[in-house]
Amino acid sequence: MKSKFNKQPLIEVKGYEKNHSWEGYEQIIKEIKGKIDAIDKEKKIVAMDFYPGVRVDEIRENIIENFPEAISIFTDEEIFFDNEFVTNKIKDYMTEDRVFGIMSPCQFIDFIDQDKLHATRKQIEEAKGLILVYGVAASLLTKPDLHIYLDLARWEIQKRYRRGEIPNWKHNNYNDDILRKYKRGFFFEWRMADRYKKDHFENFHYILDTNLKDIPRMITAKSFLVGLESATKQPFSVVPFFDPGVWGGQWMKEVCDLDRSVENYAWCFNCVPEENSLLLKVGEVIVEVPSINIVLKYPRPLLGEKVHARFGTEFPIRFDFLDTIEGGNLSLQVHPLTEYIQENFGMHYTQDESYYILDAKEDAYVYLGVKTGTTKEKFFGDLAKAQEGEIEFSVEKYINKIPAQKHDHFLIPAGTAHCSGVNSMVLEISSTPYIFTFKLWDWGRAGLDGKPRPIHIEHGSKVLQFDRDTEWTMNNLVNQVKKVNEGKGWREEKTGLHEREFIETRRHWFSVPVLHDTEGELNVLNLIEGEQAIVESPEGKFEPFIVNYAETFIVPAAVGKYSITPYGPSKGKEIATIKAYVRF
C-alpha cells in the first residue's frame, strides 16, 4: 500500500490569485523596480529586512547589484557593534556549557553603535536618489518607503549551521560545534529576531521566502497576513521535518514515504511551530514561512484566551515522532523541574512529556522511573564512574524496564528518569521547551558528528526524583486510561497526562462521526489508528480537511465545533485519534 502521508500540507490563500506572488529573481526584481518607480519622491528608501540566517551573498549578488545606481547600506556592518562586542555582551547568557544557555531578553537596539547609527543616518539624510538598506533589523536605521522582509524556517537555519555555510549572527563561527551554534541561535538571536518581527508585521509590504538556494519566492504582505489569519479559522498541519540520529529507526521510511537511501530517521518534528514551517499557496506560488509567525501574529484565535493568557505568544503543545524500530535505545534522560528551569535557564515552564506507542515490535520496551530501593548516591556514583570509563553503566539495574505495546501511553512528568527502548515508534506528546533534556547515560555512543554526545549528570542529580519508584511508576505513569464517555459506534478515553503535567489527552475510538468542540482552546490531534479521516465543520465554517494515518494536525481555538469521521478506505471501520489540549 502506497503511503498517503502528506509531507507538504498547504493553505491556499483565496482572493489573492493575481499580482500577489512572484518566483525567481527576475520576476521579483521586476516587481520591486515597478514599486520603486511608483514612489513619487526624490529620495527613495527600500529596506530589505533579514531574519538571521539569510544568505547575504546570494541577496547581494541577485538583488542589490541589480540596482547599481543605488547607495547600498548593509546594517550588520554599518550600524551594529562588532562581533567581539556582541559576543562579550551576551556571554553570561551563553554560559560555558555546550548545550544550555540562559534565555536572553535582548533586543537588536541593545547592539546598535550610536556613533555608527548617527553617521549612517546623516549619510541617508544627505543622499539623493535610491537608497537600499539591507540586513538584520533594517528598519531601525530608517523608515523605508518600501519594506521587504526576508524570512526562512528555523530548521533551514540549522541545516546551514551543520554544513558550515553560515555562522551565527555577529560571529565568524562557520565551523564551530553545531550544538554551540544552535545554543546561540536558540537562547539569543532567534528570540530577539522573533520579537523584532512581531513588532513589525504590519509595516512590511512584501515577504520574501529565502529557504531554497537561488529559488526565491515573494508574496505581498497583505496576502501573507490573510494566509496566517485564515489558518486560525480551520484545521491545518505544519510541514514535518525528518532528521536522522544515532538511535534512529526504519518505520518512518515506510509509513511516511521517506528517502530509503538515508541510513535512518530518528525524529519527525510534526507539530513544533517554533521549528516547523507553513506552506501558503498564493496564486501559483507556494511560499514556506516559519509557522511561529501564526503564533506571533494571531495568538488569541489560535491558542484561545486562556492559553494565551498563560503562555503568551508560545505554542505550548508539542507532537513529534521518535523512531527506534530496528534502531537503538534513546539516551537515559530526565527533564528539569519547573523551579529548576525557571531559576537556571530563564524559562517559564518545563518539559513534561509522554510516550504514546504508535507502533511496536514484540520485544519493545520503555525505561521509566527508578527501581524500588535505588539510592541517589549509588545511582549517580555509578554514572560518574561510567562517564570516566571505569565501568559500563547498567540501566536495568536501576531503572524499570517495562514492556511496550501498540497504543500504550507512558506519562513522564519532569523529574522522571526515562528512555524509549529499541523497536518502539513513539508519538511524543509534551510541552514545548524541548531543548531541556539532561542526558544521564548514552550507551557510550558518539553523535553523528563523531563527537561524544553531551551528558549532564550534575544537572540531572538536582532534579531526578527517587520517590518515583517501581510501584509509584506502575500506579501513576503506565496506561492510566479511564473511559470518559461512549455512544453507539464511539467511545472517549482519558489517557493522561499526569496531574503534574498541564496537558490533557483524550483518545477517541470510532466508526461513526464524532463531534468535538475546542471550547475556545487550542487542540492538537493525531490519527493513531486507521488509514484516513475527514475533519468537517457542522456549521460549514471551513472546507473539509483530510487526515491520513500518523498525521498530526492543529485545530485552532477559534474553530469551535468540528467533527471527525472515518473516510475513504476507513469508511465503516473503527479508527482512533488522540487529542491534546491545555488543562485548566
The candidate with the shortest Cα–Cα distance to 438, out of 560, 353, 316, is: 353
3-state helix, strand, coil in the chain (%, to 5): 30, 30, 40
pLDDT band at 424; cut points 50, 70, 90: very high
Task: Give the mean pLDDT of 358-374.
Answer: 98
Q: Which amino acid is at 519?
A: E
The candidate with the shortest Cα–Cα distance to 230, out of 163, 286, 176, 279, is: 279
- The yes-or-no verdict on residue 478 having pLDDT over 70 is yes
pLDDT band at 1; cut points 50, 70, 90: low
d(CA 175, CA 119): 34
Tell me the percentage of the chain whose pLDDT exceeds 90.
Answer: 96
Task: Give the mean pLDDT of 72-99.
Answer: 96
pLDDT digits (tens, 9 = 90+) for 252-309: 999 999 999 999 999 999 999 999 999 999 999 999 999 999 999 999 999 999 999 9
pLDDT band at 434; cut points 50, 70, 90: low
The candidate with the shortest Cα–Cα distance to 430, out of 350, 491, 371, is: 350
Architecture of the structural domain at 301-476: Sandwich (2.60)
3-state secondary structure 486-536: EECCEEEEEEECCCCCCEEEEEEEECCCEEEECCCCCEEEEEEECCEEEEE
Task: Give the mean pLDDT of 401-421.
Answer: 98
Calculate the dihedral angle through the C-alpha atoms of 182, 185, 187, 193, rounding to the nearest 10 degrees.
-160
pLDDT digits (tens, 9 = 90+) for 547-558: 999 999 999 999
Task: Return the sign of the alpha-carbon dihedral for residues 560, 564, 567, 571.
Answer: negative
pLDDT digits (tens, 9 = 90+) for 437-471: 999 999 988 777 777 788 999 999 999 999 999 99
Give yes or no for a contact between 501 and 580, defined as CB atoms under 8 angstroms apart. Answer: no
**Taking all residues of the chain, what is their mean pLDDT, rounded to a whole number?**
96
The reported pLDDT for the residue numbered 446 is: 78
Task: Give the mean pLDDT of 102-126.
Answer: 97
> Which residues in the chain are classed under CATH 2.60.120.10?
301-476, 482-582
- Kind of pairing, strands 575-582 and 503-510? antiparallel
The reported pLDDT for the residue numbered 417 is: 98
d(CA 427, CA 320): 6
The reported pLDDT for the residue numbered 561 is: 98
Residues 551, 493, 506: CA angle, nearest 5 degrees: 45
The CATH topology of domain 482-582 is: Jelly Rolls (2.60.120)
Task: Give the mean pLDDT of 508-535.
Answer: 98
Measured in degrees and rounded to the nearest 5, phi and psi for residue 245 equal: -160, 170
Task: Give the mean pLDDT of 483-489.
Answer: 97
The reported pLDDT for the residue numbered 198 is: 97
- The yes-or-no verdict on residue 339 having pLDDT over 70 is yes
Q: Which residues sit opposite 438 in a β-bridge?
A: 334
Task: Give the mean pLDDT of 394-416.
Answer: 98
- In angstroms, what CA-CA distances link 349 with 120, 509, 535, 570, 578? 42, 32, 32, 39, 23
d(CA 252, CA 249): 8
The reported pLDDT for the residue numbered 3 is: 84
Q: Please determine, looking at this structure, whether the domain spanning 14-225 carries the CATH number 1.10.3470.
A: no
